[in-house]
Structure 1
């Protein structure tokens, strides 16, 4: 994939650099060089796909330094000579990849393409803040190429910029794509509730990467005024958090694409990590108090040892308001609160999900199992218990779970439904609509008053592979990425069909149009996709037809958005009232009836 350097051209260019150090962007037939003021000169490599397909790649460029449990340092020391930016830098230390369904492993390898599918050759380090710039071959347009900055998938504890291969999007759509690493797990999200450790260092790394791109992308031929921040899964949540990050990412991006992530996801509070920090303290033999000694001890632990021996902790963003006297909070309040009150960067947005996001996580290797109505009721009961526990701290003998689960069951069971695996599909519909589609609708309702917002629902998976998936399974997480990155045009083991190439061409065009003009249907595509508004919840259904629908035409979305919270709060109030004294037996018998009557009266 790499081209050989032409020695004479390189020598001439080096002489030009030495004698005239003010040029910004240079192109060479064999070896492109770029001078970045304040840093130095870098040489990249050509990535080739067939004889006539080239893109330029500048890999492993440092954008900041990272000291453990500290914000990133964006001051970079100039390097000597010419920096060889022709290979990926080490990834950030991360937890072992959790066990996943074989289909998920397969689709992730396809997305990464053949060259990046072997994890065995990856290296890791702690000072890991590097980025990669993929540039179309040829001269840019007058103001430079539009830029897409990609935040990788994962769970804030795993993931790598090498998990995707952006070649086809860059080559076909003539946009620059930037990928980067940021600190993960304890390295990126260690926090304490006493102000010693702010947390959110991984999100600060992301802002540092945006700062570097904004400052230097013009030297690569990019337009610093057309930067689109795009992410998937945890990367999508990150994009939404950058929209509410105040000064941290202000002006660093101009558009946002949020894929397969809940932008209103509840962010943890620092005190919720107390138990986890006790586990970490015990694992590494560090004193838990005072926090300053705890941190000093952890800083002495080798990075590899720290990463490989961490207890199981769900690391991630925290509300860090008031946790630092030296830096702005990254997350001042819960995202839903900030979006509701308009405290976010007003940029055009594309947001969407697949129609069975977590099917391969929930069912994993049991896709052929046919669930029963009892399994369905148990699933809905688990939702009721989980949501009630969030509202009622002391709910040992609360009896209203059945009331909530019955309401969910009413919305999702249909006696006339004779489809095979109907219980399986009901579970996945409830999960996707509760945790993805409804939050997406609520989010767009909040921001569409001031923003241009486009939403989509992915209802088509690749037709060229995964034919052995059961017929009841629609589109799991990651399967849309095949089309976004143009994988049907990559030279991998899949014999891609023309349908997949056609869909990929359309998706890449929509996404690139948005990055270039803020309008996904601006040019070269015949798709009607209207922006959303408070009175128009239009959503693009991405399949072979590309029709549109209204999110609120789905009564179950209305249920989760409006009716379910009322049922939940009424039930919680009734549970709380059981703690007020009196005969326990009489209360237990009467409360569900009274609550049910109260709900009916107040809602209907």
Structure 2
């Protein structure tokens, strides 16, 4: 009797974790995956990658193209592809997932040719590659190279001598002096090297719009108050924000989107600010500082997290299933909420409590401090996340919950809260705000900054300016109809 030896033995799904930390800090050991692995039967791989100046400094040429931290992640994916079967994993069922900067990394792997084919699905938590300023561009990085050379008393050119000088600097000095010199993060490195391919050929927004990405199933979302703790004033419940603070902070966020060098365009910047202020002004007017605080958080969360998640889903859903969630569930256990004001719902990092089974991993003195409900909810979240790793569907097995994939005609978010786990409705998710940020706002910015990007002769300048204001007026009329 012959025994077949060419049968493929399938292993467990492999979940490859990219830690957060804004690309300047963090550790692969910060998360304990014990409960996830034990209960859900997956292979877990946590990746160490270069951070800070070591991971993201670039000389903008062959000598140091940059994105070394991301290339470390690619090296880990290649290692998993070649070796994970020896550990019981399936090299053809790899799910990359990450949080914060790790989630941005996941998005970048979707559009990089280096990563293509090395994973089959992806989970991005509390971070989005389409959020503002996720990557740097060469025009701005030229200043960084000059700053680094000056800070360490190195010759700026030729760049091989600059690197030779930096290599002689103590590593701790590089970190201590180098970190504040720039916002260290991924870089569009197209054209830097003639001996290697770029990791990132264009801005992520442009690549997704041009449909240059790996069409794999995705699960992604955010918490309902990601950055709330930044507004916490000494833990005071009554520490709201004034109307003045509200206006200044909102204007600063919008101003970061307007990259112009011509100061004569200041009036047009006011038009852009007015459009955003109109959409988010309190109705009826109020001086209640706690109401204004909530309104600012809604504005910021909608813009940075909600709208970018919504936009990513519109790109991906044409080619692969994508499941969206919003985490509204605050832990029941006092030990988890210690030091967190009652007005803060679910801030950054609090989704990790449930996704990694932290209620089961307390210190001995805290064994009885975790509420049984948090343990039960953690079991469900871990099951859904690993269901996705197994089957590309979070509710495929062992969970009797409805979680529909996103569709442009039916743009659902899965809402995770204390009362129930349900699909979103227009009452629970502000879809108009998402459309404002993804469709209308870019048009306002384009019109508001257009004069800064054009060279015109004097004979046509006045008529062009009139046409421009007429066009802007039509856009303002559109926003009124959108809101009403």
TM-score range, shorter chain: 0.7 to 0.9
- Deviates most, 156-165 or 335-344: 335-344
Deviation for aligned residue 1:402: 3.1
Distance 1:431 1:168, change over 3 A: same
1:286 aligned to 2:161?
A: no
Deviations 1:95-151 (A, max 9, x none): xxxxxxxxxxxxxxxxxxxxxxxxxxxxxxxxxxxxxxxxxxxxxx96221111100
Distance 1:221 1:489, change over 3 A: same
Confirm or deny: 8 A CA contact 2:63 2:159 kept in the other structure: yes
Deviations 1:387-436 (A, max 9, x none): 22x2x321256223333223222222333487760111111111111011
> Take 1:425 and 1:569, find their aligned partners in 2: how far apart are those partners?
29
Distance 1:264 1:576, change over 3 A: closer
Instruction: Identify unmatched segments of 5+ residues in structure 1.
Output: 1-140
> Take 2:231 and 2:201, find their aligned partners in 1: how far apart are those partners?
33
Alignment of 1:87-166 (within 5 A): 143-166=10-33
1:569 aligned to 2:446?
A: yes
Indicate the residue corresponding to 1:83 in structure 2.
Answer: none
> Take 1:592 and 1:372, find their aligned partners in 2: how far apart are those partners?
35
> Take 1:387 and 1:433, find their aligned partners in 2: how far apart are those partners?
15
Confirm or deny: 8 A CA contact 1:454 1:531 kept in the other structure: yes
Confirm or deny: 8 A CA contact 1:250 1:345 kept in the other structure: yes
Aligned-partner SS, 1:538 = coil
> Take 2:471 and 2:211, find their aligned partners in 1: how far apart are those partners?
35
> Take 1:445 and 1:570, find their aligned partners in 2: how far apart are those partners?
24
Confirm or deny: 8 A CA contact 1:286 1:294 kept in the other structure: yes
Indicate the residue corresponding to 1:85 in structure 2.
Answer: none
> Take 1:508 and 1:569, find their aligned partners in 2: how far apart are those partners?
43
Deviation for aligned residue 1:548: 0.7
> Take 1:377 and 1:553, find their aligned partners in 2: how far apart are those partners?
21
> Take 1:351 and 1:550, find their aligned partners in 2: how far apart are those partners?
18
> Take 1:144 and 1:361, find their aligned partners in 2: how far apart are those partners?
43
Indicate the residue corresponding to 2:218 in structure 1.
Answer: 349
Indicate the residue corresponding to 2:3 in structure 1.
Answer: none
> Take 2:289 and 2:430, find their aligned partners in 1: how far apart are those partners?
25
Confirm or deny: 8 A CA contact 1:538 1:549 kept in the other structure: yes
Indicate the residue corresponding to 2:329 in structure 1.
Answer: 460
Confirm or deny: 8 A CA contact 1:196 1:323 kept in the other structure: no
Distance 1:210 1:367, change over 3 A: farther
> Take 1:303 and 1:378, find their aligned partners in 2: how far apart are those partners?
39
Aligned-partner SS, 2:348 = coil
TM-score with structure 2 setting the length: 0.87
Aligned-partner SS, 2:475 = helix
> Take 1:234 and 1:580, find their aligned partners in 2: how far apart are those partners?
46
1:370 aligned to 2:240?
A: yes
Indicate the residue corresponding to 2:229 in structure 1.
Answer: 360
Aligned-partner SS, 2:95 = strand
Distance 1:322 1:577, change over 3 A: closer
RMSD, matched Cα:
2.8
User: Please, which of 233, 258, 276 is the counterpart of residue 124 of structure 2?
Assistant: 258
Indicate the residue corresponding to 1:198 in structure 2.
Answer: 65
Deviations 1:237-292 (A, max 9, x none): 1011111111x122211110011112224421123222222221122111011111
1:386 aligned to 2:256?
A: yes
Bigger radius of gyration: 1
Indicate the residue corresponding to 1:501 in structure 2.
Answer: 375
> Take 2:155 and 2:454, find their aligned partners in 1: how far apart are those partners?
42
> Take 2:476 and 2:218, find their aligned partners in 1: how far apart are those partners?
38
Indicate the residue corresponding to 1:177 in structure 2.
Answer: 44
Confirm or deny: 8 A CA contact 2:60 2:66 kept in the other structure: no
Deviation for aligned residue 1:384: 3.5
1:511 aligned to 2:378?
A: no
- Deviates most, 467-476 or 286-295: 467-476
> Take 2:452 and 2:184, find their aligned partners in 1: how far apart are those partners?
32
> Take 1:154 and 1:396, find their aligned partners in 2: how far apart are those partners?
38
Count residues in correspondence. Answer: 458
1:432 aligned to 2:301?
A: yes
Indicate the residue corresponding to 2:350 in structure 1.
Answer: 479
Alignment of 1:501-580 (within 5 A): 501-544=375-418, 545-549=420-424, 554-573=431-450
Instruction: Identify unmatched segments of 5+ residues in structure 2.
Output: 1-7
> Take 2:205 and 2:470, find their aligned partners in 1: how far apart are those partners?
32
> Take 2:73 and 2:434, find their aligned partners in 1: how far apart are those partners?
33
Deviation for aligned residue 1:467: 5.5
1:333 aligned to 2:333?
A: no
Deviation for aligned residue 1:347: 1.1
Distance 1:593 1:470, change over 3 A: farther
- Whichever structure has more helix as a proportion of its residues is 2
Distance 1:453 1:220, change over 3 A: same
Deviation for aligned residue 1:580: 6.8
TM-score with structure 1 setting the length: 0.71
Distance 1:252 1:596, change over 3 A: closer
- Whichever structure has more strand as a proportion of its residues is 1
